Structures are given as C-alpha cells and as structure tokens.
Amino acid sequence: MESALDYSTAKALLEWQIEMGADEAIGDAALNRYELGETMPRAAASPTVTPQPQSGTAPAETGTPAARTDATTAAREAARTAQDLAGLRAAMAAFEHCDLKSGARSLVFADGIAGAPVMILGEAPGRDEDREGRPFVGKAGQLLDRMLAAIDRGRDRAEAPVYISNVLPWRPPQNRTPDKAEIAMMLPFVERHVQLAAPKILVLMGNTPCQALLGRSGITRMRGHLTQALDLPVLPMFHPAYLLRNPAAKREAWADLLALKAQLKEL
Ligand code: URA
C-alpha cells in the first residue's frame, strides 16, 4: 500500500534538507553518487583547495601545503598581469585553483562605481549574490544600502559613490565562512583589485576582510578603529549580516558610519 507523507512530515523533511545545505534544486532526477563512484568527472584542475561544507564555521585549512603555495603563486602572477579591472575580472574567471568556483553559479566581481573614494570589502557572495552576479544584493546588502544612504552615499550615486567587492568572488557552500587557505589564495586578486579601483579609504565589513588585509580578526574590538593597509586608511566595521542578527550593534555601526563620513571630508 502506498503511503503519502502528511503535510507536517513533508515540511519537516524539507526543513531538515535546507538545514543540511540542500537548499537548491539543481536537477529533476536524484543522482546516487555512491553508484557513480570514480566515473564522476573532477570539477577543477589540480592543485586545488577543497572546501569542507560545515555550516556557520570556518573549516580547517585544506589541500597540501605545496598545493596551497602553487595556487597562491598562480594567483599572484595572474593578478599582477591584469592591467585594468576588466583584465582582473577575466584573470579571476580563468583561475582554476579554487574549488569554490565549481560550486558557484557566478563570479561576483564588484558593483558600484570604480574609482569611488570608498571601497567596501565584504566576505563572499551568498545565494542572492550568486544568482544575480552582484555583491550585496540580499538582505544584508539592502541594509548596507540603507546604511550608506544614511551618510548620503550609494553604489549608484554618481556624486557620492562607493565601490563594493568581496574577498572571495565565489559563494562558499552553505554560506560557510571562508577558510584561511581560500583567503590566502585569493588575496593577490583582492590586493590588485584595490590597487586598480584606487579608493581613498577601505571599509572592511566583518572578520574575513580583516583577516585577509590586516592578518587578524576580532571585529568587536577592531571596529571603528582607523588603521592602515595597502597604503590606505582602513576602517573595520560590523558586517551588515551581523547587524541583522544583532540589531543592538547598529548603534556602533552608526558611530562608524559617521566616522567614515568625517574621514572622507579630510581625504
Ligand atoms: N555578504 C558578503 O560579505 N558579501 C556579499 O556580497 C553578500 C553578503
């Protein structure tokens, strides 16, 4: 006798799948990957750094040290030869050493106006950004736009623009935090991106860009303290996704926005 799932069981099963990270339908028929075994094509050329899907936590560094060194050297060379932002985007699109690329739909490069005095660096695209191919378009991005509007700035405001990008251009599985190897591998691209976009000040949103450019994290202590990196003034701030989860921290974020506005007047 055929047994149909009742509504609440089906809903609970769906919620469990989403919780486990199966949040997108990518094919009509289920694939049994145990049966496919070794016949599955490998996604990316070696050496690679293989991401470990673990929701909400940064996985341990992956790949052998030699593979990580090769990948970073390749990134440095590719970034160095990019002459402009279009060239950098093309170099990143052609970069095959980061396994995140094979799990993402889009390369999320940047948004806003290149050459703007403020460059904002986030962590990595989420699901909405991966779909649209633009950084900060989901809920956190909408909050970021409101925060910028509060100091009369915006990604589309020609008279007071910002330029927005991320440390990683590909969405990590289940939006997990990028690991140190992934950050180190993509850092040459980030550094060249900043050099080519030539902002007057960099805003680092959350721990990942702080880890990438300042070599340390601890945003609660670092936020609001102006520092230097890549020969530029740098302002760490709370990530808007953190502010969505912790609205009480908007008070500090507002103080940091005012500091940014004041700093921009001096540059
Ligand atoms: N969070 C980020 O850090 N970057 C995005 O582009 C979106 C969400």
Delimit the domains of the chain by residue range. Answer: 65-266
- The finding on whether 129 has its CB within 6 A of some atom of ligand 1 is yes
Look up the pTM and report it: 0.78
Structurally, at CATH architecture level, domain 65-266 sits in 3-Layer(aba) Sandwich (3.40)
Mean confidence (pLDDT) of the chain: 87
Does residue 66 or residue 59 have the better pLDDT?
Answer: 66
Residue nearest to atom 7 of ligand 1 (CA): 136
**Rounded-to-integer distance, Cα 129 and Cα 240, Å:** 15
> Is 252 a residue whose pLDDT tops 90?
yes
Give the model confidence (pLDDT) of 39-64 as tens digits: 544 444 333 444 433 334 455 566 77
Question: Of 163, 155, 160, whose CA–CA distance to 115 is shortest?
Answer: 163
> Is 149 a residue whose pLDDT tops 80?
yes
How is residue 243 written in tokens? 């502010």
- Sheet strand arrangement including 232-237: 111-112, 162-166, 118-122, 201-205, 232-237, 227-229
Q: How far is the CA of 29 from the centre of ligand 1 (A)?
A: 31
Helix H segments across the chain?
7-19, 33-36, 65-81, 85-93, 100-103, 127-132, 139-150, 180-197, 207-214, 219-222, 240-245, 250-266
Per-residue pLDDT at 58 = 53
- The finding on whether 126 has its CB within 6 A of some atom of ligand 1 is yes
**Rounded-to-integer distance, Cα 149 and Cα 250, Å:** 15
Region 109-137: mean pLDDT is 98
Region 18-47: mean pLDDT is 55
Give the model confidence (pLDDT) of 181-217 as tens digits: 999 999 999 999 999 999 999 999 999 999 999 999 9
pLDDT category at 14 given cuts 50, 70, 90 is: confident
Residue with tokens 């094509």: 41
Per-residue pLDDT at 152 = 97
Query: What is the DSSP annotation of 134-176?
Result: SSS-SHHHHHHHHHHHHTT-BTT-TTSBEEEEES-SSPPGGGP
Residue 120 near residue 205 (C-beta atoms within 8 A): yes
- The finding on whether 111 has its CB within 6 A of some atom of ligand 1 is no
- The percentage of residues in the chain with a pLDDT greater than 90, rounded to a whole number, is 73
Q: How far is the CA of 167 from the centre of ligand 1 (A)?
A: 9
